[in-house]
């Protein structure tokens, strides 16, 4: 059963697994990214889960984001993808059980973050089935992360047909110069308003925005809430931003080790999150570069 802290109406996610693994000295390199720690030092993955739990997270997200052929290669995914993904579910469940909190099963971008142009619809169902089957015993809900286009969201919904657990779709947004037309858009260029309408029709349980700069979250939240009100739909909205510089249209998440913005210390990040909550977001947390200290600051202020 999905369990969130009832002391406020805010559900607090965890932060970025990959950068926290790097910070504590876990095995970490390109192109495997955070998957390397699952392969060589799974105890450190659990250590990060415990740190986020202790910081106040209501939900832990499984650490299989990079366990896709794009990061670990076709052969290794065929040989070890299911077992590594299953391990990520067990580690999250073990940590969450100690704190009485819930686990979200991460459904990552299958063909590279930020790159909807690389999405291959014909391959998606088989890859999604492997991920879902491996995580299924240990998760309370599903979280499709860094979703760059409407059709990626549609593929996830189709893959989860018949599963009665909540599905949260989290879209990634244009940021930096490409967000200057003031119309919130997905990395595909599709309008957030259209994406919201699409996933409402698909029957998802919550709409979120992640892995983009915090500055672009508020306009997306306002747009999403406006569309929900217009359609008379009651659905949670959330956001969890990264601490990266803006990413251009041809960027791929984790293709390089981006510098983190020093202004986004716990207090700096908290100021953004408080704005999102004021606008109506009820699910918040952090993505790349947002650590346990940030989550603890959110917990103290919001919970």
Q: Using pLDDT thresholds of 50, 70 and 90, give the confidence band for residue 256.
A: low
Number of domains in the chain: 1
CATH code of residue 298: 3.20.20.330
Q: What is the mean pLDDT of residues 267-274?
A: 98
For residue 4, tell me if it sits in a domain.
Answer: no
| Residue 59, beta-bridge partner list | 102
pLDDT of residue 128: 98
Q: What is the rounded average pLDDT of the residues 245-254?
A: 57
Q: What is the pLDDT of residues 47-95, one digit of tens each?
A: 999 999 999 999 999 999 999 999 999 999 999 999 999 999 999 999 9
The predicted-structure confidence for 211-227, as pLDDT tens digits, reads as follows: 999 999 999 999 999 99
Nearest-CA neighbor of 287 among 236, 223, 241, 225? 241
Domain holding 220, by residue range, is 11-302
pLDDT for position 4 = 47
Buried/exposed code over 175-197 (b: 16+ C-beta within 10 A; e: otherwise): bbebbeeeebbbbbebebbebbb
Residue 1 in domain: no
Q: Is 109 inside any structural domain? A: yes
Q: Is the pLDDT confidence value at 5 over 50?
A: no
151 pLDDT higher than 90: yes
Is 156 inside a domain boundary? yes
**Residue 5 belongs to a domain:** no
Q: Coil, strand, or helix at residue 217?
A: helix
Q: What is the pTM (predicted TM-score) of this model?
A: 0.93
pLDDT at 6 over 80: no
């Amino acid at each position: 059963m999905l369990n969130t802290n009832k002391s406020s109406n805010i559900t607090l996610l965890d932060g970025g697994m990959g950068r926290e693994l790097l910070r504590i000295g876990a095995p970490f390199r390109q192109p495997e990214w955070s998957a390397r720690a699952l392969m060589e030092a799974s105890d450190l993955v659990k250590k990060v889960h415990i740190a986020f739990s202790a910081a106040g997270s209501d939900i832990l997200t499984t650490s299989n984001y990079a366990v896709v052929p794009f990061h670990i290669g076709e052969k290794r995914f065929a040989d070890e993808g299911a077992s590594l993904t299953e391990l990520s579910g067990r580690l999250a469940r073990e940590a969450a059980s100690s704190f009485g909190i819930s686990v979200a099963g991460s459904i990552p971008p299958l063909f590279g973050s930020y790159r909807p142009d690389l999405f291959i619809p014909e391959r998606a169902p088989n890859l999604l089935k492997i991920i879902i089957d491996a995580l299924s015993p240990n998760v309370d809900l599903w979280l499709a992360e860094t979703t760059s286009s409407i059709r990626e969201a549609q593929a996830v919904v189709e893959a989860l047909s018949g599963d009665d657990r909540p599905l949260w779709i989290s879209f990634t947004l244009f940021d930096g110069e490409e967000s200057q037309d003031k119309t919130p858009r997905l990395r595909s260029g599709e309008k957030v308003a259209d994406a919201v309408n699409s996933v409402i029709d698909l029957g998802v349980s919550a709409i979120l925005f992640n892995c983009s700069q915090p500055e672009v979250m508020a306009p997306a939240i306002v747009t999403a809430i406006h569309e929900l009100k217009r359609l008379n739909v009651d659905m949670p909205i959330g956001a969890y931003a990264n601490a990266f510089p803006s990413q251009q249209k041809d960027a791929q998440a984790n293709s390089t080790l981006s510098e983190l913005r020093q202004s986004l210390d716990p207090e700096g990040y908290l100021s953004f999150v408080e704005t999102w909550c004021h606008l109506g977001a009820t699910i918040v947390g952090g993505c790349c570069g947002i650590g346990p200290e940030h989550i603890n600051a959110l917990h103290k202020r919001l919970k």
